[in-house]
Chains A and B, each alone.
Chain A
Amino acid sequence: ETGVTQTPRHLVMGMTNKKSLKCEQHLGHNAMYWYKQSAKKPLELMFVYSLEERVENNSVPSRFSPECPNSSHLFLHLHTLQPEDSALYLCASSQDISPGRTQPQHFGDGTRLSIL
């Protein structure tokens, strides 16, 4: 059983729809992340949450809205997306992000998003 679970696995939506991606981690971690992976591009960090508080927003358009109600759950709310937003969206978690030392991040299997 994976420690980080993402739903749905696949999502097709129109540009005017509103949908949400869900991530749940069962590892007791305090930090959670959203990444975007487009074809032939490196993983792009979108948002970082630490203890339910957003600590980073990497110039992500406002049509992406994250929510972290508790340290185990992370959502990405989507509205009025563009075709270029079609990508694999990955959630990850790590023990924490401060005060220091890098820890490996544990990834979910992602949501494949297609915008029509």
Chain B
Amino acid sequence: DQQVKQNSPSLSVQEGRISILNCDYTNSMFDYFLWYKKYPAEGPTFLISISSIKDKNEDGRFTVFLNKSAKHLSLHIVPSQPGDSAVYFCAASIYYGNNRLAFGKGNQVVVIP
């Protein structure tokens, strides 16, 4: 059974506007969450992470929000740029675990110039 779910598989957004990607998880043991970005013909690259002791983590144009009670996190990209067009994967783990990541299926983002 899928423990990390990313619905709305694709998103189109105008350059300069905000992109919001959502992720839900079912395992209440997860306490560390990561976002990866993937271009075609390349492997996923780590983007940003958040620990469950926080509800927000920001890195430049990327911000991740965590709502533990709802088992939901989101990634905000603002302003969106054409180079952000990629597939974004949400992943979750148990922080003091064994480094096993559970991945979502990914969201395709297209930023329109």
Contact = CB atoms under 8 A, between A and B. Distances in A.
Interface stretch (A12-20, A60-68, A78-86, A92-100): A92-100
Interface string B24-50: 000000001010100001111110010
Most buried by A among B4, B32, B43, B97: B43
Interface stretch (B53-61, B69-77, B101-109): B101-109
Interface residues of B, number: 27
Contacts of A2: 43
A108 B100 contact: no
A4 B43 contact: yes
Given A102-B94, A102-B99, A42 B105 contact: yes
A31 interface: yes
A77 interface: no
B99 A97 contact: yes
Interface of B: 2, 4, 32, 34, 36, 41-46, 49, 89, 93-106
